[in-house]
Amino acid sequence: LNRLTIELAFVALALAVIYPSLKRVFWMPQAWLGIAFGFGIPMAFAAHQNAIPAVAWWLLGANVFWTIAYDTEYAMVDRNDDVRIGMKTSAILFGERDVFFTMLCQALFLGTMLWIGVRFNLGVMYFFGIAGAAALAVRQYFILRQRTRETSFEAFLHNNWIGASIFAGIVADFGLRIPAPWIK
């Protein structure tokens, strides 16, 4: 553990400690959660490279968009209870546009992951993983648009498949290493 990683660990600790109280004062605790969950990304780069390259921040940003998307879906399940007890969440903030903003965050997440793949010349299997995740996100829209507690929770759980698709694409890409024809 180098000095940079240890310093980042204190930042990560502060992010984790502050998060639970944010639903009382901050309308987007889902964004903070994304930063807290994803802070291991720059820490991993710091541990291996003793530096944090730009891609680490791009990956963290993608993680924040995805966390806002899936945690908003989860917050949609509890929206009525959260309103009653005075909590603040993205599901309440987004109101009737919750599905739109959730899908926008999914698109920003997938777009960022796509850009990272192009930027770092990842192979065709990576892009198949992203395409699979995009198809799953479209399916998720049709689940979520009903806006019931049950469908919101189903959409939330559906994010496991989105993550699995991207993971499978990464594993296959590094295992097979088939270059993408559109990348020189």
Contact 20, 32 (CB under 8 A): no
Q: How confident is the model at residue 182 (pLDDT cuts 50, 70, 90)?
A: low
Cα radius of gyration rounded to whole Å, the chain = 18
pTM: 0.92
pLDDT in tens, 69-112: 999 999 999 999 999 999 999 999 999 999 999 999 999 999 99
Q: Residue 2: helix, strand or coil by DSSP? A: coil
Least confident of 29-43, 97-111, 165-179: 165-179
